Structure 1
Amino acid sequence: MRWSERRAAARAVLEGHDCVHPASVHEPVAARIAEDLGYELGMFAGSTGSLAVLGAPDIILLTLTEFAEQARRINRAANRLPLVVDADHGYGNALNVMRTVEELEVAGVAALSIEDTALPRPFGTEKPVLIPLDEGVAKMRAAVAARDDASLVIFARTGAVSITGLEDALARVRAYNHTGTDGIFLTGVTKRAELDALAAEAKLPLVLGTLSDEISDRNYLASRGVRIALQGHLPFQAAIQAIHATLKALREGTPPAQVGGTAPKTLREAAMREADYAEKARRFLG
């Protein structure tokens, strides 16, 4: 599937009436599995990118080049799954945001978000802080101006609810409505009263980066204009646990044949697209 077709599929989600949960993917095999399971979207986050590429926590050590290259690898391997990526703060000011959009568009992503958090965390601050609203607006407008393919989806992202409060979040939503972005990505929303107020001000589809029990009902989310709701990044956490358990068992002397929890041959072959490569070998290697 070409990039434009994947971007059209992502836009179809935004233009629909349902709320979907994307698959958290961090590398090619995870993306292929998500594709085979029929997920509408894949989600590649800055946090899982930092873990997968650097083995580092989500403290903005990953560079744009590293992030875009990992996104490219994912898109090459899973050739139908539309990939949504969290581009953090755009790796700098508004001009850096433009470079970020250019690199991720070429990497084949279907959608990306730019947030208004001051990142990396400034010296002397103990908690996250936001950039001024006018700077946030400029960064969102710069992101829109930078895209070459008009079908690329761009989200304006803010965590204001949990950082500066609901009133500031409402002001930012009102401002980001008019930046040319295609949706508003909210984090830190945990209560229905918060989402109700924000949805009332939003003129664009909503994406939620956090879910609490109080707001997790998909029918409720859909009624508030939420079209994408993340469920965290459990696949990566499960992978860490599986690798640890397997290596520990082997280290302690468990015979390989007795180590449980490994993927069956059919699943491994499907994830590797072994049948496709075998057919290509037959056709072109004789």
Structure 2
Amino acid sequence: MQRISHQLLRSAFRALLSGDRCYHTASVFDPMSARIAADLGFEVGILGGSVAALQVLAAPDFALITLSEFVEQATRIGRVARLPVIADADHGYGNALNVMRTVVELERAGVAALTLEDTLLPAQFGRKSTDLIGVAEGVGKIRAAVQARVDGELAIIARTHAGVLSVAEVLERTQAYQQAGADAICLVGVRDFAHLEQIAQHLSVPLMLVTYSNPELHGDQRLAELGVRIVVDGHGAYFAAIKATYDCLRQQRQITTATDLSASELSHKYTHPEDYFVWAREFMDVKE
């Protein structure tokens, strides 16, 4: 099968952003899933940071995966991808200079776009996982990302959490990121269409929504009219793979007494998050 160049895939993603339709991402986490998604007609895929942490480390989504580990997985996918893939680059793995390195490495891996969020990562002990960095620092990261890319077709998507901010604060951040050169804005935590409209009417770049299948945001035509071009419903494909693996191996061992666990329960069971909470209390709860 003939490969498709990374530049063509980036151009295809740019065409999605500049169009007038709304597209739903396929969760792709390895070469096989990327091939399946393309064969089934998905227009775009996404490699989630949380999924990569599970796939590579069997670890919870605590910003434990390193840039090199994430890039290795993105490279494996980019080697065979026949659809544009968005890389969830979290916070860029550090400050603005780290962001530049992140862009260089992910561009080489072949992704079509990457999201950079303004979440304060790794989370500080005793603080919320939704704490955000300052607007100025977020702007610096977007400007650094734009500066670092070589292929101008690589899309830089700035992400913020609309669920923990007032509309005015969301607009302050997103308009600043738009001005800094972001090719699109990714929003998490949008409650419903009324909330989305309050934000969308003040932005000129395309929008990407992480909805986790929020029923209050169903309706592709209305989403498209508000400028939404990409929707991330979640990563059900990977969690289904976890569940299928567990059920298959349990059947192979003829184990009938074990509790039938859901995919989310299996993810919790086998990532051992309690260990990380214990270590955080021991090593991070330091009183000066």
Fold shared by both chains (TM-score > 0.5): yes
1:200 aligns with 2:206: no
Q: Which residue of 1 aligns with 2:61?
A: 58
1:176-255 aligned at under 5 Å gives the runs: 176-210=177-211, 211-252=213-254
| Pairwise CA RMSD | 1.2
CA apart distance, 1:222: 0.3
Q: Which residue of 2 aligns with 1:172?
A: 173
Q: Which amino acid aligns with 1:67?
A: F
Equivalent pair of 2:49/2:61 in contact (CA under 8 Å):
yes
Structure 2 unaligned segments of length 5 or more: list them. Answer: 257-288
CA distance in 2, matches of 1:127, 1:51: 18
> Compared with structure 1, are the counterparts of its residues 245 and 146 closer, same or farther at alpha carbon in structure 2 (3 Å cutoff)?
same
Q: Which amino acid aligns with 1:202?
A: L
Equivalent position SS for 1:162: coil
> Compared with structure 1, are the counterparts of its residues 203 and 253 closer, same or farther at alpha carbon in structure 2 (3 Å cutoff)?
closer
1:35-184 aligned at under 5 Å gives the runs: 35-78=38-81, 80-159=82-161, 161-184=162-185
Equivalent position SS for 2:24: coil
Equivalent pair of 2:120/2:129 in contact (CA under 8 Å):
no
> Compared with structure 1, are the counterparts of its residues 253 and 169 closer, same or farther at alpha carbon in structure 2 (3 Å cutoff)?
closer
Return the TM-score normalized by structure 2.
0.85
CA distance in 2, matches of 1:115, 1:74: 22
CA apart distance, 1:215: 1.1
CA distance in 2, matches of 1:53, 1:91: 16
Q: Which residue of 2 aligns with 1:2?
A: 5
Structure 1 unaligned segments of length 5 or more: list them. Answer: 255-286
Give the share of equivalent positions with the same residue, in percent. 50
CA apart distance, 1:35: 1.0
1:246-285 aligned at under 5 Å gives the runs: 246-252=248-254
Equivalent position SS for 2:179: coil
Equivalent position SS for 1:88: coil
Q: Which amino acid aligns with 1:247?
A: L
Return the TM-score normalized by structure 1.
0.86
Q: Which amino acid aligns with 1:227?
A: R
Equivalent position SS for 2:79: helix
Q: Which residue of 2 aligns with 1:277?
A: none
Equivalent pair of 1:173/1:201 in contact (CA under 8 Å):
no
CA distance in 2, matches of 1:10, 1:228: 10
CA distance in 1, matches of 2:183, 2:255: 54
Which structure's CA Rg is the greater one? 1
CA apart distance, 1:253: 6.8
CA distance in 2, matches of 1:197, 1:253: 53
CA distance in 1, matches of 2:195, 2:78: 35
After superposition, what is the alpha-carbon deviation per residue over 1:115-162, rounded to whole angstroms, capped at 9, x for unaligned?
100001023314421000111111111110100111111101111x22
1:31 to 29, 34, 52: 34
Equivalent pair of 2:163/2:191 in contact (CA under 8 Å):
no
> Compared with structure 1, are the counterparts of its residues 64 and 141 closer, same or farther at alpha carbon in structure 2 (3 Å cutoff)?
same
After superposition, what is the alpha-carbon deviation per residue over 1:35-81, rounded to whole angstroms, capped at 9, x for unaligned?
11111111101011101101111111000000011000011122x21
Q: Which amino acid aligns with 1:101?
A: V
Equivalent pair of 1:95/1:142 in contact (CA under 8 Å):
yes
